[in-house]
Each structure stands twice: as C-alpha cells, then as structure tokens.
Structure 1
C-alpha cells in the first residue's frame, strides 16, 4: 500500500467497530488497537494475539486487510503519525486570562472573515455549482467536518463526495477531469505534503484549504484558499479545531442563499 493510504488508518479501524458485528474477531482486534494506541510501541504481534485470544495469523490478516504487510508496519503507522493523531488528545490552551479560548475563537473568526469576502464567496459557490463533481480529500482528522458539509450540500441538491481513506487507486479520483473540482483539506500542512505527488498527478481543478503559505502550493494548485494570513503552528489551536468548520459553514450559507431549493 502506498504511504498516502496510511493517513486513513484511524478511519479504517473506526469503520470496523462501527459497521461490524461485535462477535467478529476483527472488531475485537480493532477495539484493542484503538484502546491501546498510546502503548502500541511496546507491543508486538505475540502480545496482541495472547491478550485477544487469537492466533498471530489472525492479527497479521487484519493488518493485511488494512493494507499493511504485517503488524509491525501497522504499528509504525501510529509512531510515524503520533503528532498528527495528537490532534485528538489535547485541549486548546488559553495563553492568559486576556487570551481565553473564547477570545481566540473571536480572533480566528475575524481572521477567517478577512478571507471570506463577499466576492470570494460568490466566486467559490459559483465554481462549486458549475462543477460536475465535487470531491473533498482529507486525512481522517477532518473527515467529520467534511461529512457535515457533505450532508448539508446533498440535501441542498449538490452531490459532494468525501475521501478520507483508501486514497491510492481510488476510481473516484482517477475519473476526475477539468469539469470537476478536487478540494484538499490540510489546515497545518501535514496532509498537503504527503498527498502532493498524488494530487499533482490528477487532471482536474485543484483547490487547497490551509493555513500554510508555500509557493509550491500556489504553483501546483489552481487555487489556494487560506484560513489565515500567515503560517500557523502545527500544534492544536482554535484553527486546527474550528477554522475549517467556520470556513465551510460560511461557504454553505452563501451557497444555500444563492442556489438552495
């Protein structure tokens, strides 16, 4: 499996526990991996087989079904993306009484609004409406925000697709053309970096939503929609949690006003 596909591992494990019967061995293993994520670096296939009362072959089959050669490769996924998955594990710090989370949110909204001008929003929703297909591409970190936008748009008469795992050899991506629109979501730049080569190979109208300002992005994307005027830290902040939601909601509000049924 290509490196990029591994950015959907968390979604893949969660899909197993959401969509499969509790008496399925894979559910037990998926729950175990998720519950023990913080100590996976200490475990090996023998430990997991013993603690879950399954064979080592069963553990290996789960890893292979998720696209890994073996459990060791799957475990390395969590090590490699520890900082990315830390998105879920820490709260947003208040730097002082004067800069509470509420104040940070207010400042974030003002900053986003500087980019979400009426002319910009009008151009964006017109492009969305005119595009034959709209596909959002993101790691599992922002799949929920995309899903909310997707549901709202579909109920307003515009089909939107969201891809947050199984990126490589995906027929939806491979069939995109210049009549379509691909929107890549990467607030802190992690996903934009690892998906760059794959996205660059696609022949479609490409948009990146990010806080990271790079000449490379502006050169290879048709459009870059910025959430902020300057690069932001990769640590958890109001931008990594709320900016994308605010941004997409502003786009949807403009779309429904102009094109809603």
Structure 2
C-alpha cells in the first residue's frame, strides 16, 4: 500500500491537495494507524470530507478501510525485515552473521527451484493464459510487484491480463469470474490465506478455472484450485526470490513462444 502512495506522489503534481495528503501519509506511515480522521485532516490542513474523498479516490471504501490496509502493510513490512535479519541484532558481527545466513538460504532455495522447475508445465500455464480471453492475476504484499510486472510484460505482446493486489478489487473481480475465466493466485508465504478469507471463499464458489502458484507446500484451501504449481523446496526464506524468478521465466518463455 505504501508503494501506491509513493507511486502517486512521484507521478502527480506536488501542488495538488491529494498529492500533499499522499506526501504526508508517505512521510508518517507508521503513525497513521494511530490517528483518527480528524487528526489526519488537521495534520494535512484539509477538511475531514477531503480525507474521506481521497480514500475513496484511491479505491478504499472508507477511512476505516484505509487504516486497515495501512496496518496490513506495516505487518508485511515488519515480517519482511525480520525475514532478512532479526531486528534485535545490534552488533556488526551479529548482524553480518545473520545476514550471511539469510543469503545462504536464498541461494539454496533458488538452486532447488532451478533444478526442479518443470518447463512443460510452465508451457501449459502460458498456453492457458494465451488462449483465455479473461485472465486475472491475484497477489498481495510482495507478490503484488510480481503480478504487476507480469501484466506489463504480457501487454507488450498484446495480451491484456488483469492484476489485482488489493482485497477489495480481488473480491469484486472474483464475483464476476465465470466458466470462461482464468484466475491465477500467486502467494509466497505472505499471509494470503490468513488475510483474504472473503476472496478465497468467492473463488471457491466461482466456476472459473483456478490456478495457484505458490512456494507453500501445505498452504490452506489449496483444494479449491484446479491446478497447483509448487515452486522450490519451501524450506528457506527465499520464497519471494523464487516467485520473482518464476515470473521472469513466465515472461521470457511467453516472449519466446508467442
């Protein structure tokens, strides 16, 4: 979610009211979850109604919904940092020790993935994407960058796919999918099963063809999917790197085949 604000700030005039609100939020992100509507409006020198309109402009139902997404983003950020190295590691030697271990796990996980990647199944996945008119990609937190890169790259080959990283848009999309649609969910130990219950329930009811691409061998609700693509060994902390490499394989292979 923070990326959304930073992207908005970087792509719009700094003289607009909404840009100033986004700039304040980006500069005080960890404080927002403790502020109420009146406090944020006062801090941005705008009315409460303006803050509410800004939240709706960004696709949130309300200021409360907006704060919930802020909390999710903060939790994901803290989880990512702790994946890299314990924040309690203060000394230089201790930090270097933990960071070296983190790097070793990533290398090991990537090797497992490269040695076990099934090219034929990859081609089957790409064929299904290519031959389906209505394709939606779902991913949250760090996987949101993966699906956005896929969307961008497929568009370069005249193939439009929808890419949704927000729960609200995912839920709206899931309810419109039909038997001619394809949805692909990307998850890399990022809490999708814990945070997207409504989305998963909607997908379970949908008649669309459902594919899961995951680094979690025993993830919840995998039974609702028609196919599951399990990547890597699932042992280490390199899940996101494995997912990023698989998306690069999808892109390069698609360009080769089509």
Which category describes the TM-score, using the shorter chain as reference length? 0.7 to 0.9
Answer yes or no: is the 8 Å Cα contact 2:139–2:165 preserved in 1: yes
Write the distance in 2 (CA, Å) between the matches of 1:17 and 1:168: 24
**Contact 1:211 1:230 (C-alpha < 8 Å) held by counterparts:** yes
2:22 to 5, 19, 30: 30
TM-score, with structure 1 as normaliser:
0.76
- The residue number in structure 1 matching 2:60 is 67
1:27-56 deviation per Cα after TM superposition (whole angstroms, max 9, x unaligned): 211221221111224433333223222223
Q: Secondary structure at the match of 1:167?
A: helix
User: Cα deviation per residue 1:52-90 (whole Å; 9 max; x = unaligned)?
Assistant: 222233223333444344x35533432355322435666
Q: Which runs of 5+ in 2 are unaligned?
A: 86-95
Q: Who is 2:111 aligned against?
A: 110
Superposed CA offset, 1:215-234 (max 9, x none): 753310111111233466xx
Deviation of residue 198 (structure 1)?
2.4
In the TM superposition, residue 107 of structure 1 has moved relative to its aligned partner by 1.4
- Structure 1 moving runs of 4+ over 4 Å: 9-12, 87-91, 94-98, 172-175
Asked if 1:200 is matched to 2:204, the reply is: yes
Cα separation, 2, equivalents of 1:97 and 1:46:
42
Instruction: Structure 1 unaligned segments of length 5 or more: list them.
Output: 1-8
Check whether the contact 2:136–2:182 (CA below 8 A) recurs between aligned residues.
yes
Q: Give the direction of change, closer, same or farther, for the CA distance of 1:43–1:176 in structure 2 (3 Å limit).
A: closer
**More relative contact order, 1 or 2 (CA 8 Å, 6+ apart):** 1
The CA deviation at 1:204 is 0.9
Q: Tell me the TM-score normalised to structure 2 length.
A: 0.77
Q: Distance in 2 between matches of 1:42 and 1:97?
A: 32
Aligned residues: 243
Q: Which moved more, 1:197-206 or 1:211-220?
A: 211-220
Distance in 1, matches of 2:98 and 2:141, equals 31
The CA deviation at 1:20 is 4.1
Please give the secondary structure, in 2, of the residue aligned with 1:134: strand
Pairs within 5 Å for 1:1-261 = 9-10=1-2, 13-14=5-6, 16-65=8-57, 66-69=59-62, 71-86=63-78, 92-93=84-85, 99=101, 101=103, 103-165=104-166, 166-167=168-169, 170=172, 173-193=174-194, 194=196, 195-214=199-218, 216-230=220-234, 237-240=237-240, 242-257=241-256, 259-260=257-258
Asked if structure 2 preserves the Cα contact closer than 8 Å seen for 1:11 and 1:140, the reply is: no
Partner of 2:92: none
Deviation track 1:95-125 (CA, whole Å, cap 9, x = no partner) reads: 5586462x33321222222441233223222
Query: Measured at CA, do residues 100 and 37 of structure 1 come closer, stay the same or move farther in structure 2, by a change above 3 Å?
Result: closer
